[in-house]
């Protein structure tokens, strides 16, 4: 169990290929649950769906090591981390900005992607764990956002959206670690249900018409109403005239707000 007011060990690096890769290496040496790795820049930052994550100086690149009590629920963790990032930005950014979640784990500000999460499971000596990596675009100039534009939602950064140039990465990290371990304690005590409820509360697409591409098993595109988050972290989609369906993998491509 993570104790109240848990203070994680944080390893900070000027440059890494990927904070997720570094933390997986550290996990093999037996570092404890809750260990964080932070880098000022990454040379091979990884994103979801085999994409790269552009990681110049000015962004915040963090990975955290977690060993869930129920190994087969490892897929809950990126939802929990997504809420922690959302709560962090809600606290750190001006209140007129809307910080929200996009399925599965992206964080948006005013409907543009500001942060992404990549969770990678591993096992070491029969311990099943996850390294959950977070990339937040903080002090990135608008021109530096071009590499993100292959994503379906356009990208933003704290600097692009507020005009502020010197947002403190340390301050954001300090807020994030408190939010993260508070949520993790809730999760350890009560399971996924409160996380599911918080996730839904912070997702502004629920109740709206959405399009999801590459839906398994056939890779089709489906359009319907976003009913909610399933108990397994999938989208519950309501297609008029049909039963509700659960979508566990695919790419949310469009939302009609
Ligand atoms: C996404 O595609 O939206 C997920 C991006 C995740 C990027 C972060 S940056 C810190 C960590 N290390 C990596 O190599 N990737 C994640």
If 0-12 CB within 10 Å is exposed, 13-18 middle and 19+ buried, where does residue 65 land? buried
63 lines ligand 1 (CB under 6 A): yes
Q: For residue 204, what is the DSSP state?
A: T
pLDDT tens digits for range 126-138: 888 999 999 999 9
pLDDT greater than 70 at residue 151: no
Ligand 1 atom with the shortest distance to the CA of 106: 3
Sheet strand arrangement including 235-238:
245-247, 235-238, 220-229, 209-215, 251-256
* DSSP string for 113-130: EEEEEEEEEEEETTEEEE
In contact, 222 and 215? CB cutoff 8 Å: yes
- Coil, strand or helix: which one is 212? strand
Position 162 confidence tier, pLDDT thresholds 50, 70, 90:
very high
46 lines ligand 1 (CB under 6 A): yes
Fold matches, 10-201 and 209-256: no
Please identify, in words, the CATH class of the domain defined by 209-256. mainly beta
Ligand 1 atom with the shortest distance to the CA of 59: 9
Among residues 210, 76, 205, which one has the least CA distance to residue 132? Answer: 76
Q: What is the CA radius of gyration of the chain?
A: 18
Position 65 confidence tier, pLDDT thresholds 50, 70, 90:
very high
User: Average pLDDT of the chain?
Assistant: 95
Domain boundaries, the chain: 10-201, 209-256
137 lines ligand 1 (CB under 6 A): no
Position 153 confidence tier, pLDDT thresholds 50, 70, 90:
confident
Q: Is the pTM of this model over 0.75?
A: yes
Name the architecture of domain 10-201.
2-Layer Sandwich (3.30)
Task: Give the whole-angstrom CA distance, residue 39 versus residue 20.
Answer: 10
78 lines ligand 1 (CB under 6 A): no
34 lines ligand 1 (CB under 6 A): no
Question: Facing residues of 121 across strands?
Answer: 130
pLDDT tens digits for range 165-195: 999 999 999 999 999 999 999 999 999 999 9
């Amino acid at each position: 169990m993570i104790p109240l007011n848990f203070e994680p060990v944080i390893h900070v690096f000027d440059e890494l290929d990927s904070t997720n890769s570094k933390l997986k290496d550290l996990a093999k040496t037996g570092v404890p649950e809750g260990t964080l790795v932070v880098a000022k820049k990454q040379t091979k930052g990884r994103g979801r769906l085999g994409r790269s994550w552009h990681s110049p100086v000015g962004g915040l690149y963090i990975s955290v090591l977690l060993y869930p009590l129920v190994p087969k629920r490892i897929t809950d963790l990126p939802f929990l981390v997504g809420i922690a990032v959302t709560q962090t930005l809600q606290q750190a950014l001006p209140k007129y900005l809307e910080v929200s979640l996009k399925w599965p784990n992206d964080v948006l500000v005013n409907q543009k992607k500001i942060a992404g999460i990549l969770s990678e499971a591993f096992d070491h000596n029969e311990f099943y764990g996850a390294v959950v990596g977070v990339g937040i675009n903080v002090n990135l100039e608008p021109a530096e956002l071009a590499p993100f534009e292959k994503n379906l939602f356009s990208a933003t950064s704290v600097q692009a959206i507020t005009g502020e140039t010197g947002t403190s990465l340390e301050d954001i990290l300090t807020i994030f670690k408190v939010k993260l371990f508070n949520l993790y304690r809730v999760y350890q005590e009560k399971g996924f249900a409160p996380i599911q409820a918080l996730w839904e509360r912070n997702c502004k697409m629920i109740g709206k018409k959405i399009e999801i591409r590459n839906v398994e098993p056939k890779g089709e595109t489906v359009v319907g109403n976003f009913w909610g988050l399933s108990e397994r972290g999938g989208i519950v989609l309501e297609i008029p005239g049909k039963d509700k369906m659960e979508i566990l993998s695919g790419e949310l491509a469009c939302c009609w707000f």
